[in-house]
Amino acid sequence: MSSLFLDRDGVINQRIVDNYVTRVEDFVILDGVLEAFAIFAGKFDRIFMVTNQQGIGKGLMSAADLEAIHNFLLDKVKSVGGRIDRIYFCPELKEKHSFLRKPSIGMAIQARRDFPEVRLKDSVMVGDMRSDMLFGRRAGMRTVLVGDEKDVARSDHHLVDLYYPDLLAYAKTL
């Protein structure tokens, strides 16, 4: 079964550099993202969002704050005929070395456990950072880098199967 795994910050919404999206008011969906979700809904059997959210672990936001942000996103995606089948997140601090935190593959394992029909080798991981590409590669997925190609060092290009400037550019190739 073909599944799509998507990072959040920098892929779906504007990343706040050196800070965290902690409120719905700060969650700015990137241009073309909703159109991309409408395309993805017809191309992938399952769509997942996988996101590190250590702002919770730092006490900058609560799980309820994150849920409000994600419910806002889900409503927007649904309004254009798109979908996200499940959102997985890791609230732990980087220093805790949680198996759920990307680049570890815990969230991919959760998705496969929750949806036994998911085949990771037939799945795609889309992200904007090295940790996203490592996550995808370690889980056996194809990897798609979106955004600024400089975010993955030249020496790490072996982690990237495809590159696009944004999510919609990728969606339009499907």
Decide if 7 is catalytic.
yes
In DSSP terms, which residues pair with 88 in a beta bridge? 50
Q: Catalytic: which of 9, 65, 128, 132? A: 9
Q: How far is CA 48 from the centre of its chain?
A: 7
Contacts of 13 (CB under 8 A, 6+ apart): 21, 27, 28, 29, 30, 33, 73
Q: Catalytic: which of 7, 65, 128, 132? A: 7
Decide if 166 is catalytic.
no
Distance CA 157, CA 15 (A): 22
Query: Known catalytic residues?
Result: 7, 9
